[in-house]
Amino acid sequence: MSSSIFSDGSSKIKTSIQHINSLDEAKFKKLVQRIAEKTGRQNETIFTIDELNKLENAFGLSIDNIKQMIESIEYMFLQSAYHLIKPQILENDLINEQNFDENKAKIFVEQWSANAKEIVERLKTSHIASHSLSDIRWTLDVGITQGSKSKVKRPIAIYEFQLKNEQTKQIENIQTEFNKDELYGFFEKLESIQSQLDTLMT
Amino acid sequence: MPDHHSYQDPFYGWTTPKTISLCVQKLKECNSLPFQAIQKLISMSEAQILNEQASSSSSSSLEILMKFSKNHSISIENLLVIFNGFVHVLRLALKPPAAFLKSDIFKDDLRDLKFSEQIIEGFHNILFGTKRDQLYNIIQERDRPRLPFLQSFDWNLDVTLTTASLSRCIEPLLFFQFHTTDNRCLTFEVPIKKFNELRYNTALLLKEMEEVDGKQALKLLET
């Protein structure tokens, strides 16, 4: 790659890179580590307001500059994940194209190698559907008598599907019941899905 | 042979239900009602339970009763009492498990209630006739409270190739769409892990269901 993977955002991150280069190395390492842990999680802020204030004192930079720096580092992680970039290429990119200080570049690449798998995993499994299945509960009941019939032996499976609304994080409980035949039909459908999954994965 | 009264309660319970005693009383009073009309009432009561339309001309049972009331100059209240009694007899007969209702004992019980022989024949034909299984099935399955159940279940298995955040992804993506009987249409994504859990749990449930028949405590419910 002759052009940097950060070329789309290079103007935005230029000032941040200057700040980064002037930072103390140990502090930079901790910062990058923290950001790497949180990259890719949906709807989570990386630093709270209090923590940002502490960083302001620690780094001697204004809050705006710190925020920009954090965003830039996160952006760099996300771009690296997007391209699934190899560490060596990333290092070259940072040093040659983005004017990163060598030691800082090494620290960044180190953190990337350590956390790449997790970050990609998180990005892979992030949902964009409005609802997703978060949990399943069930009971097996047996009906033994009812108003219209005095003696029955009727096994009934009751499922509770918990659907999570991705926007509001609210859980909706859907209760359904299945008698024996319905449960068999449901199971057969699940089996056919599984066989499709198997052919897909081979 | 010992009288069945000594070992089996009549199908209608320990005492004659008021509905039935009123019905018999009205039948005696309205002896102008021809047997054909009574026959029609009996088959209507069967249809009432099956919840079908009474005839192809799709006139409701109430309309038929009004027609009888006019034709045979019997008040509609009396007809309603008689019809109600018939339906009640059928419901009570369908209540115990199918094997408990023996032909002769049933007829005997009906005689104790003071129904005429022709009517007894009519009831007997319904309960041991062609629609027997259907009647029992409906009584057990339809006339009980039910949680919503799945009417249809559609699924989509897609593969995510690239996303806004990953240029090379290759992840399977599973979507379910449930249509439940309370008119809800639920579309949701199922993570593969949850799908595996669902499949495992369903298999476990099916195994437990099969084992229900063998459980000691439930052997008392053998019919």
Give B113-168 as a 3 state SS string: CCCCHHHHHHHHHHHCCCCHHHHHHHHHHCCCCCCCCEEEEEEEEEEECCCCCCCC
All residues of chain B having their beta carbon less than 8 Å from the beta carbon of residue A147 are: 143-144
**Burial classification of residue A102, based on how many CB atoms lie within 10 Å of its CB (0-12 exposed, 13-18 middle, 19 or more buried):** exposed
What's the pLDDT at B59? Answer: 60
Q: Which of A125, A141, A174 is the last residue of a domain?
A: A125
Question: Are A175 and B97 in contact (CB < 8 Å)?
Answer: no
Interaxial angle between packed helices B117-127 and B103-112, expressed in degrees from 0 to 180 and rounded to the nearest 10: 140
Name the residue facing B197 among A136, A149, A154 (closest C-beta).
A136
pLDDT at A43: 62
Residue A4: what pLDDT?
Answer: 73
Contacts of B157 in chain A (CB under 8 A): 193, 196-197, 200
Total domains, chain A = 2
Task: Give me chain A's average pLDDT, please.
Answer: 82
Cβ distance of B221 and A151 shorter than 8 Å: yes
Predicted local confidence at residue B2, as pLDDT: 59
Question: Is A190 in contact with B202 (Cβ distance < 8 A)?
Answer: yes
If asked whether residues B166 and B202 sit together in one domain, one would say: yes
Whole-angstrom distance between the N-terminal and C-terminal Cα of chain A? 32
Residues B26 and B106 placed together within one structural domain of the fold: yes
Q: How far is A150 from chain B (nearest CA, A)?
A: 5
Which of B120, B143, B166 is where one domain is finished?
Answer: B143
Asked if residue A109 has pLDDT above 60, the reply is yes
- Mark whether A107 and A80 lie in a shared domain: yes
pLDDT tens digit sequence for B76-134: 888 888 888 888 888 888 888 877 778 888 888 888 888 888 888 888 888 888 888 88
- Is the whole model's pTM more than 0.80, yes or no? no
For residue A1, what pLDDT band results from cuts at 50, 70 and 90? Answer: very low
User: ∠ CA(B181), CA(B184), CA(B185), 5° rounding?
Assistant: 115
Q: What is the pLDDT of residues B27-84, one digit of tens each?
A: 888 777 777 777 787 877 787 777 754 344 446 777 777 877 777 777 888 888 888 8
Q: Which domain holds residue B135?
A: 18-143
pLDDT band for A183, please (50, 70, 90 cuts): very high
Mark yes or no for CB contact B178/A176 under 8 Å: yes
CA distance B73 to chain A (A): 35
Residues B163-200: tens digit of each pLDDT: 888 888 788 889 999 999 988 898 999 988 899 999 99
- Which positions in chain A touch B146 (Cβ < 8 Å)? 177
Would you say residue B127 lies in a domain? yes
- Both B136 and B157 in one domain: the answer is no
Question: Per the CB < 8 Å rule, is B95 touching A196?
Answer: no
Amino acid identity at B135: L
Say if the Cβ atoms of A144 and B178 lie within 8 Å: no
Where is average pLDDT lowest: A178-182, B140-144, B197-201? Answer: B140-144
As for how many domains chain B has, the answer is: 2
| pLDDT per residue as tens digits for the range A54-103 | 777 777 777 787 888 888 888 888 888 888 888 888 888 888 877 777 88
Q: Which of B110, B143, B176 is the endpoint of a domain?
A: B143
What integer is the mean pLDDT of B201-222? 83
- State the nearest Cα–Cα gap between B166 and chain A, in angstroms: 4
This complex has an ipTM of: 0.76
- What's the domain range around A141? 131-201
Contacts of B49 in chain A (CB under 8 A): none
Query: Of the residues B143, B172, B192, which one is the last residue of a structural domain?
Result: B143
